[in-house]
A and B are shown apart, each in its own frame.
Chain A
Amino acid sequence: MPPDSPTVPADTWSDLVSAALVGTARRSVPEPAGLPEVRRDDPALALLDRAALAAVRLRAGRVPARVEPDDPGRLPPAAPDTAPAVPAAAARRLASLLEGDLPLLREWADLAARRGMVVPTDLLPAVLNRGARDHDLGRALARVVGERGRWLAAVSSRWAYLERHTHTGEFTVEKWRAQGAENRRALLEAREPLLSPADESLLEEAMADRSSRVRGIALALLAQLPDTERGRRLADLARRHVTLRDGAVEISPPEVADPDVPAALGLSAATGTREEIREERLWALVTHAPLDCWLGRLGADPDEVAAAASAHPELLDTLANAAVVQRRPDWARALLPALFQRLSRRHHVRSSRAHALVGLLPPDDQCAWALEHAKQVSPGTRGATALLSVVECVECPWSPDLGQIVADVLIGAENSDSGLAALAHAAETRMPPELHPRIAEAARTRLGPPSDQPDRDAQRVAEILRGLAEKLRFRHEMHKEFH
């Protein structure tokens, strides 16, 4: 149809619609101008025929809309992505992982991030949607969405969370104050890697926030901040109550009437017996007093402090807690031997701070620490159970040496070893995946030659090993796709 041909005027069409709604039994059929004449004896058919002409002309007569050069809906051009996209096979794997396993997805993101690679642009909406559903995963995926991912998150408000993970937005105290409680919390949390002493006043303000979750994160961040006024006040107080006399640590919990401790910690009214209140305040104080305040007081270095404290299990635990809260790997390293020695005898590693302390160390140190302890585990009776208490703390990918030891123990473990299933489970996501043929082979030999009366325990263990081998094989494929 030539562009200058007349289109159907809107009222012509709406006249026809009105007549059709009421029905030709009660309303005469409009004869719109500009349409070819339609003669029918039956008014209903006449209406339908006129409507058909009008409808097709409306459809055929569509003309484009106009968008001005300065239309606010125009998208800003994305900055070029210098990072390469992941190989095609890895992209396909990602697409199949998006609805599935969380640890695998996180491992995929780590593999890509370590190589400085980014998600292909067409998968970005699905990846950003997945990250929006899970906070930690969102943080992992934020590292691999690249420049284009950040650009896309700015295009659609549903992915505002990405800004918090990537620190692209400019942070000002005024902007922070204007946010709702959930965003105030999230923005503070996102500050963690960028904390500096200049943040102390902001965090002090946040300590008085209406929302308890904001106060909680502010307290956690303040504890990580070195050289603060608050830290110096707490250090002075703490050293009054924990002292060294004649080579032995002396502990004197603060009096309930002492107003300094609750004031410095910002504690609210206490409940419980006198003794409980005194204990609770002491441990809160030690947890938040900067750990370095003990140097020169309880010992010359963290190792000496840990040795001096080991006579007091509660103090040792609280110092461990302080190392976790204040994110101090050096103190974690010093406290771990004493803590682990005490705990491994009672197999309470999971419930202690040892788990969290190991997590503070860099991955290489975590594996080295575990390797040292693992070497003392004999692969025989209940070897898997003993090893489990060591390696379950190590949540980072295991080094080849550590993986080998775990594989040895798994392969040599007795069928009755109750820790075997849990050890295999821990290994699924952390063991170097190229060990899968060894595990698969062990699963086959575990069953032995076919017999009339298969050993139920051996079958169960073979199934566990086969499951582990399968998971490792899958991960191995995934790793290879990045090469």
Chain B
Amino acid sequence: MAPPRFRDVSERWTPDDVWALAPDASSRKAAVKTAKPASWALRGFRAGDSGGGLAVWGECSGSGSKPYQVVVDLAAAPASRCSCPSRKFPCKHALALLYLWSENTVDPGDPPEWAAEWLARREAARERPAAEPAAPADPEAAARRLERREERVAEGLAELELWLRDQVESGLAGAPGMGYGELDSVAARLVDAQAGRLADHVRGLSGVTSLPDWPARLLTEYSLLRLLTAAYQRREHLPEPMRATVRARVGLPSSPDLSAPVRDTWHVLGRCDFPAGQVRGRRIWLRGATTGRTAMMVSFAPQGQVPETPVRVGTAVDADLAFHPAESRAVLVALHGDSAAEPPGTGADTALADWSAALAADPWCTAWPVVVADAEFVRGTPWLLADPTGAALPLRQDCCPPLTAAAVSGGAPVTVAGEWTPGGLRPLSVWAPDGRCVSLDPRVPAGAAGA
């Protein structure tokens, strides 16, 4: 299989593409300051169709005597290297260089030795998985390792179940006094058992008891955890899609089925960043124009860095996606083209019926994309998103008041994409009456336990 292509190689990026990589507002500001051509005595780029992959490099004079050497590899997901001491990624030099390039102030050429060396190493690394068979060298050993891991997870879950049982037996009334420590040690045992995702989830429960309706919320969370432990015990008897869901929810790894990519025109509905343990996660929702299939691209990056964002919200991409066996999770295999496009929407009834169907396949699901057409934002506690029939989705408390979305709508009916969650709708993007898409880029606050 060919290495994944993330964008048309002949395409020069727009400044917007560049700023989408900035880890935060301050690094973007610093990059704007750094992006003066006079500071860049050396700068050049290699077009993607000239043999090697698309790459940009340059030398930026800083406060020291030696200029900073920075090179950015754009052949696949953007990666960069800079000789500056910054711990942000990409650093302001890489961003500034890309910005200059996006503004057409960088000339094509051959990379200098220091850049060529690094690019060659990356290229070699990219080729390797494609050159070798996808299967591990020793399938039997791998199967044994997986089996051992599943057993350890089973032990961890049995322990969790016992703990849940004890909580309910002695009563949840004591939960607010339990403190962070106890949940943390439960989570730590799950980490030991290699059920990392579940551990993060359990750790996030410590915030629940500070919410006004915490008894109901806590019982919901505990009962769904018990549902998961019970389902895992019975995993051999579950039908395949549900078994895959249970394995994914527990935190066992899965891989995308590269043998059967799905090609469609995928509407990129919206994106949302969420905390995931020590790292920052980003999910991007897509929906196929022909297949109607929902896809979720997930990527992670250390705090202060930007998770990979291979597609832009508000576009429709003609692409091949390979799906994981659960959670509609997908990866981009090949991108054939993209254009701005407004997705078709439904009414509020259909949106919630879709959500019910998603829950039937995955009862642990806490976010499902919905697109409401001709929708109006309505003031209230909470605010609502009403369809033309008057059926309305209440917004999540942490998304009220939705002033940016309201400003874009101007009180007119608009297409709104969002995530339906047990706590209400989280708007993700709005298409203005003139068709312009505004991505609201919400962030899930930490410790809210998903719902």
Contact = CB atoms under 8 A, between A and B. Distances in A.
Given A65-B393, A152-B406, A60 B360 contact: yes
A17 B165 contact: no
Contacts of B380: 71, 73
Given A48-B168, A77-B411, A89 B15 contact: yes
A145 B393 CA distance: 30
Contacts of B38: 440
Given A59-B359, A62-B352, A64-B393, A52 B172 contact: no
A99 B16 contact: no
B293 interface: no
Contact of A25 (B171, B215, B352, B377): B171
Contact of B169 (A25, A78, A124): A25
Nearest to B347: A64
Contacts of A64: 348-349, 352, 387, 391-393
B403 interface: yes
Contact of A122 (B226, B377, B407): B407
A69 B376 CA distance: 11
A49 B230 contact: yes
B360 A1 contact: yes
A215 B349 CA distance: 59
Contact of A67 (B161, B378, B410): B378
B28 interface: yes
Interface in B24-51: 25, 28-29, 32-33, 36, 38
Nearest to B103: A89
Interface in A21-42: 21-26, 42
Contacts of A122: 404, 407-408, 438
Nearest to A88: B16
Contacts of A67: 378, 384, 386, 390-392
Contacts of A71: 378, 380
Contacts of B185: none
Contacts of B166: 44
A13 interface: yes
A68 interface: yes
B227 interface: yes
B378 A96 contact: no
A124 B215 CA distance: 40
A92 B168 contact: no
B448 interface: no
Interface residues of A, number: 63
A212 interface: no
Contacts of B164: 44, 48
Contacts of A151: 410-411
A76 B409 CA distance: 11
B210 interface: no
Given A23-B169, A23-B170, A24-B168, A96 B411 contact: no
Given A25-B170, A26-B171, A49-B226, A75 B392 contact: no
B407 A21 contact: no
B367 to A, nearest CB: 12
A75 B349 contact: no
Chain B interface, >50% SS class: helix
A479 to B, nearest CB: 15
B33 A474 contact: yes
Contact of B226 (A45, A62, A156): A45
A181 B266 CA distance: 57
Given A20-B172, A47-B168, A75-B376, A155 B403 contact: yes
A14 to B, nearest CB: 8
A51 B219 contact: yes
A17 B219 CA distance: 7
B8 to A, nearest CB: 21
Contacts of A45: 161, 165, 226
B281 interface: no
A62 B355 contact: yes
Interface string B190-223: 0000000000000000000000000110011011
B440 to A, nearest CB: 8
A99 B394 CA distance: 32
A419 interface: no
A370 to B, nearest CB: 30
B270 to A, nearest CB: 14
Interface in B45-73: none
Contact of A78 (B359, B401, B410, B438): B410
Contact of A73 (B384, B404, B409): B384
Contact of B224 (A52, A60, A66, A100): A52
Contact of B363 (A22, A23, A56, A68): A56
A64 B353 CA distance: 10
Interface in B164-183: 164-166, 168-173
B412 interface: yes
Nearest to A47: B168
Contacts of B219: 16-17, 20, 51, 55
A469 to B, nearest CB: 9
A148 interface: yes
A17 B410 contact: no
B173 A148 contact: no
Interface residues of B, number: 67
Contacts of A148: 407, 410
B379 interface: yes
Contacts of B377: 75
A440 B28 CA distance: 24
Contacts of A59: 359, 422
A61 interface: yes
Interface in B368-410: 376-380, 383-384, 386-387, 390-394, 401, 403-404, 406-410
Nearest to B359: A60
Given A42-B165, A44-B165, A125-B407, A73 B379 contact: yes
A22 B404 contact: no
A125 B363 CA distance: 37
Contacts of B432: 121
B291 interface: no
Given A51-B219, A71-B378, A78-B411, A23 B165 contact: no
B356 interface: yes
A473 interface: yes
B19 interface: yes
Nearest to A80: B410
A55 B218 CA distance: 11
A210 B338 CA distance: 65
Interface string B1-37: 0000000000000011001000001001100110010
A221 B8 CA distance: 63
A3 interface: yes
B379 A155 contact: yes
A77 B356 CA distance: 33
Contacts of A125: 403-404, 407
Contacts of A100: 29
B327 to A, nearest CB: 16
Contacts of B386: 67, 74
B216 A17 contact: yes
Contacts of B378: 67, 71, 73-75
Contacts of A300: none
Contacts of B33: 470, 474
Nearest to A23: B171
Interface string A65-104: 1111101111111100000000011001000100110000
B427 to A, nearest CB: 12
Interface string B263-302: 0000000000000000000000000000000000000000
Given A66-B390, A76-B411, A49 B223 contact: yes
7 contacts: A22-B171, A48-B164, A69-B390, A74-B376, A92-B15, A440-B38, A473-B36
Going nearest first, the 5 A-B pairs with the smallest beta carbon separation are A23-B171, A51-B223, A78-B410, A73-B379, A64-B391
Given A25-B169, A77-B411, A88-B16, 7 more contacts: A23-B172, A44-B169, A72-B379, A74-B378, A75-B409, A76-B411, A89-B15
